[in-house]
C-alpha cells in the first residue's frame, strides 16, 4: 500500500524544497511565528541529497530515536525515509539548530502517519513524536486528535502529552537527551499556514520575476518555522 494520503500534507513542502529552481532563494530571515517563541536569524532546507541522506541515517541510528519508536503504542511503524526532510538554521542568539523529520506509516494505514523528529542544538538532542491523520476522521479508538488546517488540507493532529501509562522520557526538562510528545510537531502543523503566507509574500516582493516564487517562499517560510519550533522544543 502506498503512503499517499497522509504524506499529501508534506508533499507541498517537499515539492517546493526539491522541485524549485536551484537558482531561487533557499534561505530566509524567518518571519515571526505565533507558534514558537524563538527568534530565528536564518533557516533553510537541506536540498543536497548526500547531505540529507547522511542526516537521515544519523537520525535513524540515534539510540534516542530507537527509544522513541519503542515508546510509540499500537501497530508497527514502517519508515518512509525517502520522504524525510531536514532544516538547519541559527537563532538570534547564535545557536545552531537542526531538525530531521523522519516519517513513518502506522501499521498498513496510508492515512495515519507518525513523525519522529530528531532535533539538535548545542549539546542537547531532543526527539519529538507527533501523529497525524489525513484523508479521513479518526476512529473512536483513535483518541486525542483535533482537526486543523495544514496547507489547505484538513488534517487531524495528535494532542500533546504522552499516551496513558507512558511518562515523558528523560529525567527532567533539563536533560540533554530527552523525548517530547507532539511539542515540535504541533508547533509546525499549527504555524505552517501563516509561515507559508509570510514566506510567499516576502519572496514575491523580493524576486517577483522568479518562476514559482510564491511556492518557493512558502517552503522557505516553513523552514524558518521549523527552526523556531525546534529551538522552542530544545528549551522546553
Q: Identify the pLDDT of residue 121.
A: 92
Which element (helix H / strand E) includes 17?
A: helix 11-19
| Crossing angle for the helix pair 213-235 and 11-19, to the nearest 10 degrees | 120
Query: What whole-number distance in Å separates Cα of residue 137 and Cα of residue 130?
Result: 17
Q: Identify the pLDDT of residue 1.
A: 46
pLDDT surpasses 50 at 9: no
The three three-digit cell numbers of residue 120, written as one number: 539538535
Q: Identify the pLDDT of residue 30.
A: 44
Query: What whole-number distance in Å separates Cα of residue 119 and Cα of residue 105?
Result: 20
C-beta separation of 180 from 128 below 8 A: yes
C-beta separation of 207 from 213 below 8 A: yes
Which element (helix H / strand E) includes 77?
A: strand 77-79
Q: Identify the pLDDT of residue 117.
A: 94
Closest CA to 68 of 135, 130, 145: 130
Q: What is the DSSP track for 189-236?
A: HHHHHHHHHHHHHHHHHH-TTSTTHHHHHHHHHHHHHHHHHHHHHHH-
Which element (helix H / strand E) includes 11?
A: helix 11-19
The three three-digit cell numbers of residue 210, written as one number: 522568479
Reported as a single tens digit per residue, the pLDDT across 18-75 is: 544 333 444 444 444 445 667 899 999 998 999 999 999 999 999 999 999 988 887 8
What's phi and psi for 187, nearest 5 deg? -60, -45
Q: Identify the pLDDT of residue 13.
A: 55
C-beta separation of 219 from 27 below 8 A: no
Amino acid at each position: 500500500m502506498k503512503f499517499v494520503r497522509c504524506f499529501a500534507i508534506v508533499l507541498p513542502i517537499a515539492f517546493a524544497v526539491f522541485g524549485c529552481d536551484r537558482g531561487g532563494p533557499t534561505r530566509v530571515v524567518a518571519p515571526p511565528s505565533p507558534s514558537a517563541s524563538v527568534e530565528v536569524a536564518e533557516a533553510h532546507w537541506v536540498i543536497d541529497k548526500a547531505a540529507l541522506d547522511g542526516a537521515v541515517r544519523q537520525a535513524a541510528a540515534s539510540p534516542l530515536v530507537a527509544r522513541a519508536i519503542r515508546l510509540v503504542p499500537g501497530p508497527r511503524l514502517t519508515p518512509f525515509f525517502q520522504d524525510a526532510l531536514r532544516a538547519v538554521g541559527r537563532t538570534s542568539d547564535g545557536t545552531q539548530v537542526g531538525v530531521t523529520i523522519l516519517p513513518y506509516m502506522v501499521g498498513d494505514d496510508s492515512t495515519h502517519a507518525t513523525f519522529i523528529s530528531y532535533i539538535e542544538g548545542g549539546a542537547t538532542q531532543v526527539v519529538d513524536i507527533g501523529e497525524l491523520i489525513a484523508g479521513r476522521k479518526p476512529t473512536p479508538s483513535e483518541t486525542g486528535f483535533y482537526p486543523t488546517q495544514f496547507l489547505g488540507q484538513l488534517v487531524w493532529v495528535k494532542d500533546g502529552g504522552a499516551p496513558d501509562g507512558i511518562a515523558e522520557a528523560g529525567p527532567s526538562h533539563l536533560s540533554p537527551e530527552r523525548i517530547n510528545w507532539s511539542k515540535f510537531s504541533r508547533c509546525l502543523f499549527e504555524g505552517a499556514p501563516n509561515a507559508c503566507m509570510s514566506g510567499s509574500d516576502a519572496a514575491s516582493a523580493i524576486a517577483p520575476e522568479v518562476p514559482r516564487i510564491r511556492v518557493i517562499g512558502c517552503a522557505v517560510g516553513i523552514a524558518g518555522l521549523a527552526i523556531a519550533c525546534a529551538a522552542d522544543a530544545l528549551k522546553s
